[in-house]
A and B are shown apart, each in its own frame.
Chain A
């Protein structure tokens, strides 16, 4: 069975500083990887995804994540955060071809950006 581990429950950071939110997964088959963001009192929104191809994926608002198959990781990074990035971030994995396609979410990392 697949599982997702988000190593940090909370990450406080000052505005304009870089940030990395860590995500590790375990699965015996090929996977699809996702990061979702949940702003306060809102639903989840897709931030970025890895299905195949380039291992580095980027979002429109400056976040990026790199799929590292050997380390089974999909860490999320941003070189300079804004106050508006304060939110809950969820890493998710779905088994791909040959698997069940069932999604599994991590427990979430709360990113808190201080002025």
Chain B
């Protein structure tokens, strides 16, 4: 059984640019959540997708957007990057909403 994978592992972007992060869910999981984890902080919820529909959104601006595909993989898009967007971005999948989450290794985004 393949776990949650994320790509790329590291990324360096310039302020104002756009970025797309990708996540493959664990097999059979229909729910994907995205988090932003700043250094020394807990994961901050960005949004969650359940069966291709957005199920909820955290306190992030609209320039953070996402998609979930029919195979339940997912993308996180961030437009107009700011320096404060530098963080570890975590994707987590679960068998259903509310269940325990299985996390990927994360994508380390650095904005300069």
In the assembled complex, the Cα of A107 lies from the Cα of B43 at a distance in Å of 8
Judge if B33 is at the interface, Cβ distance under 8 Å.
yes
| Interface size range on A against B | 20 to 34
**Of all chain A residues, which has the CB nearest B91?**
A43
Whether B56 contacts A46 by the Cβ 8 Å rule is no
CB B88 to nearest CB in A, in angstroms, measures 9
**Would you give the shortest CB distance from A29 to chain B, in whole angstroms?**
11
A102 and B100 contact, Cβ closer than 8 Å, known pairs A43-B105, A43-B106:
no
B90 at the interface (CB under 8 A from A): yes
Give the size category of B's interface with A.
20 to 34
Which secondary structure characterizes the binding site on chain A?
Answer: strand
- Which single residue of chain B is at the shortest CB-CB distance from A48? B100
Residue B27 at the chain A interface, CB threshold 8 Å: no
Asked if B103 lies at the interface with its beta carbon under 8 angstroms from chain A, I say: yes
- Selected A-B contacts with CB under 8 Å, 19 pairs: A32-B98, A34-B100, A34-B101, A42-B105, A43-B104, A43-B105, A46-B102, A100-B56, A101-B48, A101-B55, A101-B97, A101-B98, A102-B45, A102-B56, A103-B45, A105-B43, A105-B44, A105-B45, A106-B42
Interface residues, chain B, with chain A CB atoms under 8 Å away: 33, 35, 41-45, 48, 50, 55-56, 58, 90, 92, 97-106
